[in-house]
Amino acid sequence: MNEGSDGGSGGDNLFSDVDAGGGNDVFANRELLNIDHVPDQNRIVGRDDHIRELANEVGPAVTGVPPNSVILYGKTGSGKSLVANHVMERARDEAERRGNRLATVTVDCAQAKGEADTIQTVADSVNRPGTGVKVPTRGISTNEYYNRLWEILDREYDAALITLDEVDRLGDDNVLMLLSRAREAGKVDVPIGIISISNKVNFREQMTERVKSSLGHNEFIFDPYDGEQLRQILENRKDAFQEGVLEPGVIPKTAALAAQRHGDARKAIRLLRHAGDYAKNNGVGEVREDHLELAQEQAEVERLKELIAGLPPHSKYVLYALANLTSKTPDDRDWFRTTVIYDVYRKVCESEGTDDLTTDTVRGLLSELAFLEVTESNQEHGGMGKGTYKEHRLLWEPSVVFKMDPDPARVDVDQ
């Protein structure tokens, strides 16, 4: 028997500070601070109007009548997914109460790998054992996935609500087109409402006219939360902690820190959780304001790593180039031309012992980084006869970028 395991009814000491609710000395229910956690209705702060408006648009689905499709726009962490999931859940319950069957499903388009995968996810999650329809993960054509989805919907449901989260990551318009027009095209009898979610306010401009007209013109904008709303969101999850563990100033300070940076509820919740983890891991027994400082940078490093996880490795070298430039230039001059970044990027590659890529490829990497809002870019005019050029700026602290690796490339940026 391993040391520390008493093997009796007391269980293994190794896990002694874990209880069924994920509790310990610091946390009573850490789950409340998970980003995927969907809070109860009474814990949703400041989004009553959006909830009501969205329910008005998709509401007809509860009686099997065609709902309107809607696009929700807003910065990350402004509650778009939360509101969509909340309204869908209540719509499903209400449909059931009225004797109707409403299919509800959310697809994260950033995770789905193309059209077939997206439709497979939708079909699989609305499928029921009684349909006799199989939705394998591979081996059938995209068209066949659609056919199976229509079959399941027609057999089992009176209406469907499909949420496409991060819809701008879909890659092409086909999914939106086919789902929104399926009934009109006679593919399926069941009315389908689509809730599209995007962080990019200019996403609508990228859609083709055909898709725009099939999605309708219902758009809701989610403004970032202010400090007071963030404070309430955090207060509502205070019972994640054991009684008396949170110092009184911690929640207001967490809210203030998150409000400074984009009013992102996700960031606020994550920060509070990290501060709790810090207290727990260091056996401090209480969560203090100074733990937030320590937790903040770690939370940002994690978020940045998450954001760039799907990008090619050289995106990180481009980021290092920008971080090197930004950290060695006065604060008010943090915009850099592509060519300047490229020169420093080559030095980074040299220090990392890897071959550099072409300027065009680096330009593409910079666009991807701007799309993910790790950087921002703008077009500058060089003046008469000089044409235009692009400039880029890092939207994260260089110290956060450098902490992504134990030994990041710091290079000489003198040109």
Ligand X SMILES: Nc1ncnc2c1ncn2[C@@H]1O[C@H](COP(=O)(O)OP(=O)(O)OP(=O)(O)O)[C@@H](O)[C@H]1O
Task: Give 324-364 as a DSSP string.
Answer: HHHHTS-TT--EEEHHHHHHHHHHHHHHHT-PPPPHHHHHH
Q: Among residues 165 and 352, whose Cβ is nearest to ligand X?
A: 165
| Residue 264: closest CA among 31, 35, 32 | 35
SS3 268: helix
- Nearest approach in angstroms of CB 157 to ligand X is 25
Euclidean distance between CA atoms 325 and 341, whole angstroms: 8
- Nearest approach in angstroms of CB 45 to ligand X is 4
**Strand-by-strand arrangement of the 375-381 sheet:** 335-337, 388-394, 375-381
Euclidean distance between CA atoms 91 and 72, whole angstroms: 17
Q: Among residues 69 and 106, whose Cβ is nearest to ligand X?
A: 106
Tell me the residue number closest to ligand X, measured at CB: 79
- Which residues lie near ligand X (CB under 6 A)? 35, 37, 39, 43-47, 74, 76-82, 199, 233, 265-266, 269
**Is the CB of residue 69 less than 8 Å from the CB of residue 179?**
no
- Nearest approach in angstroms of CB 302 to ligand X is 14
Euclidean distance between CA atoms 313 and 306, whole angstroms: 13
Q: Among residues 76 and 125, whose Cβ is nearest to ligand X?
A: 76
Look up residue 347 and give its amino acid. K
End-to-end C-alpha distance for the chain, whole angstroms = 64
Euclidean distance between CA atoms 367 and 349, whole angstroms: 19
- What per-residue string of b and e applies to 3-17 under the rule 16 or more CB within 10 Å gives b? eeeeeeeeeeeeeee
Longest Cα–Cα distance in the chain: 83
SS3 157: coil
Binding residues for ATP: 78-82, 225, 237
Q: Among residues 38 and 185, whose Cβ is nearest to ligand X?
A: 38
Euclidean distance between CA atoms 145 and 118, whole angstroms: 9
- Nearest approach in angstroms of CB 197 to ligand X is 6
- Nearest approach in angstroms of CB 118 to ligand X is 17
**Is the CB of residue 358 less than 8 Å from the CB of residue 339?**
no
Q: Among residues 148 and 237, whose Cβ is nearest to ligand X?
A: 237
Regarding beta strands 388-394 and 375-381, do their DSSP bridges make them parallel or antiparallel, or are they unpaired? antiparallel
Binding residues: 78-82, 225, 237
Q: Among residues 45 and 107, whose Cβ is nearest to ligand X?
A: 45
Q: Among residues 25 and 108, whose Cβ is nearest to ligand X?
A: 108
- Nearest approach in angstroms of CB 164 to ligand X is 12
- Nearest approach in angstroms of CB 82 to ligand X is 3
Partners of 160 in beta bridges: 103, 192
- Nearest approach in angstroms of CB 85 to ligand X is 8
The two tokens of residue 42 are: 């009474």
Q: Among residues 47 and 92, whose Cβ is nearest to ligand X?
A: 47
Euclidean distance between CA atoms 345 and 330, whole angstroms: 20
